[in-house]
């Protein structure tokens, strides 16, 4: 009987111990160590970064202003096309491209006829209207890749890409005709201007100065020819 009581007591103790293990809370795991907060930037570093941002913004604004000034220095304000400086820059760049890639092109020089008499008779506002109409007519005869510029008072130049000599001369004749067809009404009178065109072919051995001289010489030959044609009529 005593043995049974001891066995029962021993079993009860074991069950109590097991139950205690089940309900006993698990040992809390150690919390991971948190990184130390980054030190706040010093006032000197913050000020230096602000100065760098300001200088970058000022540099960007200055670059935009320089580009605008360069564009204005190469633009004819009256006609909104390149002036002589801008056109010569484009001509030099184009000749360099032609030499490097063995491309071809042509330079057409245009001299407006009778602009001075129009200015003297009807005023410079009338002459300006003639020049604007001529630029519109020329621009309508060329491609977007071609370049139109004003070299002087009544002289214009057109840079044409990828044309043979025959095609370039045909284009020069077409430009003459488009300008010859223009008519203007000043003080109740119908007035026309006209233009003479000379051509220089651009190739791997071209030079900008010589090309301008060649086209200019051809233009004066053409102007004399047109004057002779008018006198012979």
User: What's the sign of the alpha-carbon dihedral 79, 189, 178, 151?
Assistant: negative
Q: Which of 128, 154, 185, 216 is catalytic?
A: 154
Are 194 and 180 in contact, with CB atoms under 8 Å apart? Answer: yes
- Whether 154 is catalytic is yes
- β 183-186/105-112 pair status: unpaired
- The torsion angles phi and psi of 142, rounded to 5 degrees, stand at -120, 170
Are 194 and 179 in contact, with CB atoms under 8 Å apart? Answer: yes
Cross-strand bridge partners of residue 112: 195
Residue 198: name the closest of 221, 219, 212, 213 by CA.
219
| Contacts by residues 66-74 (CB-CB < 8 Å, ≥ 24 positions apart) | none
- Give catalytic residue positions: 154
């Amino acid at each position: 009987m005593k043995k049974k009581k001891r066995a029962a007591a021993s079993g009860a103790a074991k069950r109590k111990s097991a139950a205690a293990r089940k309900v006993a809370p698990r040992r809390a795991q150690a919390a991971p160590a948190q990184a130390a907060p980054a030190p706040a930037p010093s006032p000197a570093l913050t000020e230096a970064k602000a100065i760098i941002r300001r200088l970058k913004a000022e540099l960007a604004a200055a670059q935009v202003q320089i580009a605008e000034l360069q564009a204005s220095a190469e633009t004819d304000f009256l006609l909104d096309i390149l002036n002589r400086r801008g056109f010569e820059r484009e001509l030099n760049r184009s000749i360099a491209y032609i030499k490097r890639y063995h491309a071809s092109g042509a330079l057409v020089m245009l001299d407006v006829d009778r602009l001075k008499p129009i200015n003297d008779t009807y005023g410079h506002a009338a002459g300006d209207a003639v020049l604007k109409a001529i630029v519109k007519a020329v621009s309508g005869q060329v491609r977007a890749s071609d370049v139109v510029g004003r070299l002087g008072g009544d002289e214009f130049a057109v840079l044409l890409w990828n044309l043979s000599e025959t095609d370039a001369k045909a284009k020069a004749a077409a430009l003459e005709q488009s300008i010859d067809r223009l008519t203007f009404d000043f003080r109740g009178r119908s007035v026309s201007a006209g233009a003479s065109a000379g051509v220089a072919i651009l190739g791997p051995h071209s030079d900008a100065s010589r090309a301008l001289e060649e086209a200019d010489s051809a233009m004066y030959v053409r102007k004399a020819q047109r004057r002779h044609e008018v006198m012979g009529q």
